[in-house]
């Protein structure tokens, strides 16, 4: 943990730092020392944390400052802007929270340094979903950019991915989840079991799909495949012909009036569902939880074809060194030590190191969020808001059920530019 204690002396790390700082100040005042390293060491380090607003939390920043003395300065931008900053302005941040699927675009720039596994305290406890692409010894779906494909580097400054585990890691996981469709069960009134329902004419004018091309087309591929129209070798890396086929299916549905909207952000998806303008749509787990917290029926629907998964992680710019590099490792180790993991789990995300998060959650919380058991007590969000009443069961069941049913991962295709052009033409059609 961040504030480990020497049990023999009862001295915590923070107490030691404070004592060191006070002593340094006294010595400077007496002119006993003439250099400045001790003074600099007493000053808090500020880390500029680049990422999307979804993964940035004032509570986490506050707790990190309390436990470590490190100041987190958030730099919130869009997913595309994160990529752009890494490639063009590696000096503009000290720590980045990026998605694994972006790594194929990021690594060739040489602007990220490999992370030294020997400096990551909990590296051996990171979920095998990342390190091996399996869960409880069972291989899970790896179409698209499965983290295991891009987790390791051959060397610290490598620009390609290593096929086998090494001591250099691309990103240390922050949050991940398995996504599916959200539905309004009160307005649909029957079971929904397949991705193909998104294009069912029964929901004409009441359906919506995510308008982020590289993710939206994956949802579309799940629909196309579940409808028996095509089987993809890799939904996350389509050929031009497969892109054309997928977009043709979507465009025909759009022209028939199937879609109410094409949402791009969390709040937009919540509003569409809460208002009843849509009854079935691409959706993220926390957005479904948000709708339910408003007292409106909404289900994050398990589907027989499985889930589309995504994952984000911490990366370090190649320019980071000295005290800031040390502080970044301290923060990442703190992040994995349990408090932040428990905080994220309570939002419906999953944390990289499950054991430490479990130690920071109440048994009934862990049972609800991670084991798929009925809530023994009301389930509360990190801010204390009641999210679920006692007796509720989490949609999709346990962590093992949900992550064990992953079919594909968010990805950047080899034909990405072509795909984006085709997607934009579909939106404009």
Domain residue limits, the chain: 46-177+310-363, 178-308+387-428
DSSP E strand stretches across 243-350: 259-263, 280-283, 299-301, 307-317
User: If you write DSSP's letter for every residue of 375-390 in order, what string do you get?
Assistant: PSS-EE-TTS-EEE-T
- Report the C-alpha gap between 215 and 264 in whole angstroms: 11
Q: Which CATH architecture has domain 178-308+387-428?
A: 3-Layer(aba) Sandwich (3.40)
The CA–CA distances, whole Å, from 139 to 93, 146, 190, 218, 407 equal: 36, 12, 32, 20, 11
Beta bridge partners of 210: 263
pLDDT at 42: 61
Confidence (pLDDT) at 383: 84
Burial class (CB in 10 A: 0-12, 13-18, 19+), 9: exposed
Bridge partners, 116 (sequence order): 168
* CATH number belonging to domain 46-177+310-363: 3.40.190.10
d(CA 68, CA 30): 29
Burial class (CB in 10 A: 0-12, 13-18, 19+), 328: buried
Name the pTM for this structure: 0.85
pLDDT at 55: 77
Cα atoms in the 13 Å half-sphere on the side-chain side of 53: 5
The pair of structure tokens assigned to 82 is 């994160």
Cα separation values, 387 from 61, 69, 344, Å: 23, 32, 14
For the chain, what is the mean pLDDT? 89
Q: What is the crossing angle of helices 58-68 and 322-336, to 10°?
A: 110
User: What is the DSSP code string of 271-282?
Assistant: HHHHHTS-SEEE
Say if CB 127 and CB 354 are below 8 A apart.
yes
Model pLDDT, residue 13 = 34
Low-confidence ranges of the chain (pLDDT < 50): 1-41
CA distances from 286 to 267, 268, 292, 300, 377 (A): 11, 13, 10, 9, 20
pLDDT at position 120, please? 98
Residue among 139, 137, 163, 135 nearest 151 (CA): 163
Alpha-carbon dihedral angle through residues 55, 59, 63, 65, given to the nearest 10 degrees: 80
The pLDDT of residue 79? 82
**b or e along 15-52 (b: 16 or more beta carbons within 10 Å of the residue's beta carbon)?**
eeeeeebeebeeebeeeeeeeeeeeeebeebebbbbbb
Q: What percent of the chain has pLDDT over 90?
A: 80
pLDDT recorded at residue 154: 96
What pLDDT, on a 0 to 100 scale, did the predictor assign at position 34?
A: 38
The 115-116 sheet, strands edge to edge: 115-116, 168-169, 152-153
């Amino acid at each position: 943990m961040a504030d480990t204690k020497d049990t023999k002396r009862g001295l915590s790390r923070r107490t030691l730092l404070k004592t060191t700082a006070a002593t340094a100040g006294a010595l400077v005042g007496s002119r006993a020392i003439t250099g400045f390293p001790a003074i600099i060491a007493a000053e808090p380090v500020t880390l500029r944390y680049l990422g999307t607003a979804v993964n940035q939390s004032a509570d986490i920043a506050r707790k990190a400052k309390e436990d470590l003395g490190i100041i987190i300065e958030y730099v919130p931008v869009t997913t595309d802007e994160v990529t752009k900053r890494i490639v063009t302005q590696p000096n503009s941040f000290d720590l980045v929270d990026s998605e694994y699927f972006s790594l194929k675009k990021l690594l060739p720039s040489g602007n990220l340094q490999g992370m030294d596994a020997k400096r990551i305290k909990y590296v051996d406890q990171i979920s095998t979903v990342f390190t091996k692409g399996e869960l409880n010894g069972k291989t899970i779906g790896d179409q698209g950019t499965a983290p295991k494909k891009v987790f390791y580097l051959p060397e610290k400054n490598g620009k390609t991915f290593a096929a086998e585990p090494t001591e250099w890691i691309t990103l240390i996981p922050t949050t991940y989840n398995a996504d599916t469709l959200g539905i309004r069960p009160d307005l649909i009134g029957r079971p929904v079991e397949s991705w193909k329902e998104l294009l069912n004419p029964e929901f004409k004018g009441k359906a919506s799909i995510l308008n982020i091309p590289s993710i939206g087309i994956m949802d579309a591929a799940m629909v196309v495949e579940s409808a028996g129209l095509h089987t993809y070798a890799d939904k996350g890396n389509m050929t031009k012909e497969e892109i054309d086929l997928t977009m043709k299916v979507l465009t025909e549905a759009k022209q028939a009036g199937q879609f109410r909207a094409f949402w791009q952000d969390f709040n937009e998806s919540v509003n569409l569902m809460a208002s009843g303008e849509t009854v079935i749509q691409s959706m993220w787990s926390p957005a479904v939880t948000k709708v339910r917290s408003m007292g409106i029926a909404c289900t994050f629907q398990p589907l027989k074809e499985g889930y589309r998964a995504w994952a984000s992680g911490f990366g370090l710019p190649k320019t980071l060194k000295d005290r800031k590099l040390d502080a970044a490792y301290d923060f990442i180790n703190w992040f994995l030590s349990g408090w932040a993991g428990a905080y994220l789990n309570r939002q419906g995300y999953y944390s990289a190191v499950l054991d430490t998060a479990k130690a920071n959650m109440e048994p009934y919380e862990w049972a609800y969020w991670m084991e798929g058991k009925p809530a023994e007590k009301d389930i509360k969000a990190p801010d204390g808001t009641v999210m679920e009443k006692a007796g509720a069961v989490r949609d999709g069941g346990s962590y093992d059920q949900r992550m064990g049913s992953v079919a594909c991962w968010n990805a950047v295709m080899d034909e990405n530019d072509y795909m984006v052009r085709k997607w934009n033409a579909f939106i404009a059609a």
